[in-house]
Amino acid sequence: MSNPTSRRDFLKLATLGMAGISMSAAAAKRARAEILQPPARSKQVSPNDRIRLATIGMGIIGFVDTETALEVPGVELVAAADCYDSRLVHTREVFGKQVATTRAHEEILERPDVDAVIISVPDHWHARIAMEAMKAGKAVYCEKPMVQDIEEGSQVIQTERSTKQVFQVGSQYASSILYQKAREMYQSGAIGKLNLVEARYNRNSSIGAWQYSIPPDASPKTIDWQRFLGNAPNRPFDPVRFFRWRNYWDYGTGIPGDLYVHLFTGIHTVLNSLGPTRIMATGGLRFWQDGRDVPDIMVGMCGYEETEAHPEFTLSLQTNFEDGSGGGSSFRFIGDEGALEVTYDAVTLTRSPRRGPGADEVLRGYNSVRTWSEQTQQAFAREWRAGHSRPVDPPMDESTTYRAPEGYDDRFDHLTYFFDSVREGKPVYEDSVFGFRAAAPALLTNTAYRQNRIVSWDPEKMRIVS
């Protein structure tokens, strides 16, 4: 026997579905796309302007950074350092036998033929080597996060100021054409008043979850274990800790230090923000029971106070290392009149200006009117129609997507700007102050998680509030 209520609901849903199809078609007519163009650059570099580069840390990112840096005209690799011998061998295999290699980064900093260094070592070495390099007169490109501990931030900032060396943090969203476009649209008022930012960076693979491969020749003979440890707690040789160092608090900074730094960089670039004032987090180790001591899922919440650059808003951060939806990353800047979404290759503006509801929505839709008596409904309908000369059209989204050109590499842009600063003394896109303001709330997300409390932060003075 059929259920008349169910049939009625089905017909209502079917009608709404058809309306949705119609609305989607109409909205599609209002959608458009444009291709962004990176800034034009001169390809001519005189021999006197060549930059002699050294890379300290030839792991995954160090190798990628080096390959990308050498695509920039006028840059040559003269030296490299790493604690694992096979990486040094491979450096010479790929970049040439003329490249000097060593386990000791101090030897790199002593070389007079090194103008600039890329620092791509485990997080617990970032601040120390960066400060040593600046004091040795080298320009520094330091991978994110700039520091492992909050206390190191002011030290790196002071060293940059006192040495006056070029220093840039390697979180490339700061100079990406996508985030620059999102910044332009936000500042134009495209989404109205900002109230929420959603940012996620998910993965769904063992390599994405930092379960990196371990070579068969890993041993105390091929790896300088004590140098790797540095100031970290002394432990017996362990190749798992060496090659999968991101999984341990001793050497890494967990999900926030690896991924949230990118998210904070993008958000602060778009909004010209100094950072949040309240930070909280939850998460846990849910899937990767492989001996690691950092979570594989983390959700953070941050409160941003009103400033001249932006209104008060809330930020939600999310990372899942066993994401069944396939992973991926995106930002959504949500205002009262629209939203900006930034993905790896595009930024989309969706305009949804608020308009008054139509008669169907007010009088017959999902509204409390339908719970009143027939007499009251009719009286309300007469009053409503008297005050509305015509039905108000339902809101219709207007969407514009700006795409990066095919093959665009924001890492190349970021390194190019760094080398331009080395040559010409231009301000960098991400100096130590910007880098610390991106790293600090990420590190404090760890603090909030590990201490199960809300952390208060002063983003202007860059210090924890008691």
Write out the DSSP string of 198-244.
EEEEE--STTTTT-----TT-STTTB-HHHHHTTSPP----HHHHHT
Pairing relationship of beta strands 338-342 and 313-320 according to DSSP bridges: unpaired
Q: Are residues 103 and 148 in the same domain?
A: yes
Number of domains in the chain: 2
**Which of 82, 86, 74, 75 is closest to 105 using CA atoms?**
82
Residues 215 and 252 in one domain: yes
- Using one digit for the tens of pLDDT, what is the confidence trace for 260-277? 999 999 999 999 999 999
Whether residues 168 and 204 fall in one domain: no
- What is the chain's mean pLDDT, rounded? 91
Strand ranges for 38-172 from DSSP E: 51-56, 75-81, 100-102, 116-119, 139-143, 167-170
CA neighbours closer than 13 Å in the CB half-sphere of residue 464: 14
Residues 208 and 268 in one domain: yes
Average pLDDT over residues 199-207: 96
The pLDDT tens digits for 30-62 are 678 899 998 877 677 888 889 999 999 999 999
> Looking at the structure, do residues 336 and 412 belong to the same domain, yes or no?
yes
Asked whether residue 139 is assigned to any structural domain, the reply reads yes
In a domain, 274, yes or no: yes
Q: Which of 312, 89, 270, 71 is nearest to 186 (CA)?
A: 270
Of 107-111, 130-134, 213-217, 322-326, least confident by mean pLDDT is: 322-326
Domain hosting residue 170, numbered range: 47-174
Beta bridge partners of 401: 33, 348
* Assigned domain for 6 exists: no
CATH of the domain at 126: 3.40.50.720
- Say yes or no: 204 and 332 in one domain: yes
Considering the domain architecture, whether residues 221 and 116 belong to the same structural domain is answered as no
Cβ neighbours of residue 28 under 8 Å, at least 6 residues apart?
Answer: none
Tell me whether residue 342 is in a domain. Answer: yes
Same domain, 160 and 188: no
Half-sphere exposure of 135 (CA within 13 A, CB side): 12
Instruction: Tell me which of 174, 190, 213 is where a domain ends.
Output: 174
Instruction: Indicate the pTM of the whole model.
Output: 0.89
Token pair belonging to 173: 């969203």
In this structure, are 137 and 209 located in the same domain? no
Q: Are 463 and 452 in contact (CB under 8 A)?
A: no
Least confident of 52-61, 370-379, 393-402: 393-402
pLDDT of residue 392: 54
The pLDDT, as a whole number, for residue 269 is: 98
Q: Which of 414, 440, 439 minimizes the C-alpha distance to 429?
A: 414
Residue 7: pLDDT over 70: no
* Collapsed DSSP state (helix, strand, coil) of residue 293: coil
Q: DSSP assignment, residue 190?
A: T
Predicted local distance difference test score (pLDDT) of residue 47: 80
For residue 133, what are the contacts with CB-CB under 8 A and spacing of at least 6? 56, 109, 117, 119, 140, 165
pLDDT in tens, 131-146: 999 999 999 999 999 9
Sequential DSSP letters for 313-337: EEEEEEEETT-TT--EEEEEEEESS
Q: What is the average per-residue pLDDT within 214-231?
A: 98
- Bridge pairing between strands 51-56 and 75-81: parallel
Which domain-ending residue is among 145, 174, 203? 174
pLDDT of residue 385: 87
Do 277 and 343 belong to one domain? Answer: yes
Residue 10 pLDDT > 80: no
